Amino acid sequence: MFGNWLKTSVLMAAIIALFGVIGGLIGGKQGMVLALLFGGAMNLFSYWFSDKMVLKMYDAQEVDETTSPYLYNMVKELAGRAGLPMPRVYIINEAQPNAFATGRNPENAAVAATTGILQMLSARELRGVMAHELAHVRHRDILISTISATMAGAISALANFAVFFGGRDSEGRPANPIAGIAVALLAPLAASLIQMAISRAREFEADRGGAEISGDPLALADALAKIDAYARGIPMATAEAHPETAQMMIMNPLSGEGLAGLFRTHPATEERIARLRQLAGR
């Protein structure tokens, strides 16, 4: 728990620093101060509202034991096994099989699954996936995951803004257009690298924790194999438009084309499956 709070604090500090660099490029010292203030405000906003922003971005619909008893009761049973408060449960109308967890702590958590994953997986396999997402909640990964997704998107927007409104000289010409372009490219890259460093090891831990919660490591292994086989051929438009949210999913939802392929945030599926099979063997 302390480790995740430390990571979250470091991430927030790094993001504020990036805001300061871009603000300095746009408006010198005054721009840097304004950007730092804006970055601090964004951090506070992300802490309280980033989960709602992500769920709204994906047009996630909340369900209960009346509207979706199959999924809701499955999550309720697993949350009880994990010793967690009952999270809010959402369904996303997307054909690609995928799922994620979000929220600032276990008391304010939510899990979301696509219609594609509900249709594609067996009950046993889906149970393994939901246990994986609840492991993220129990490990308190969800805060740093959701904040990094929200802030990386803000950094990308601010960096692109710098290209058009970079610092000007006394005659109104760009003071340093090369620096502006460099920051516009490097700031989103830095944010993505932060996400990448955080999420790869985290997925292995959530796989292990999910196997423990469900009591069935092979169910999650089978689910990952099936999701990996189908997800690549089914695009998810929202994820492609907001690639900073990809690291929240149980499987990378991006097509891998263009720059998105550089920002791979998940370990190789084959390695995840191999570790789960080893765990089952023990």
pLDDT in tens, 66-102: 999 999 999 999 999 999 999 999 999 999 999 999 9
Note the pLDDT of residue 171.
55
With 70 as the cut, is the pLDDT of residue 198 above it?
no
Q: What is the pLDDT of residue 197?
A: 57
Average pLDDT, the chain: 82
Residue 226 binned pLDDT confidence (cut-offs 50, 70, 90): very high
Residue 99: closest CA among 145, 143, 138, 130: 130
Question: What's the pLDDT at 192?
Answer: 64
Query: Would you place residue 138 in the very low, low, confident or very high pLDDT band (cuts 50, 70, 90)?
Result: very high
pLDDT the model gives residue 267: 87
| Band of residue 170 on the pLDDT scale cut at 50, 70, 90 | low
Q: Single out the catalytic residue among 133, 205, 244, 270.
A: 133
133 among known catalytic residues? yes
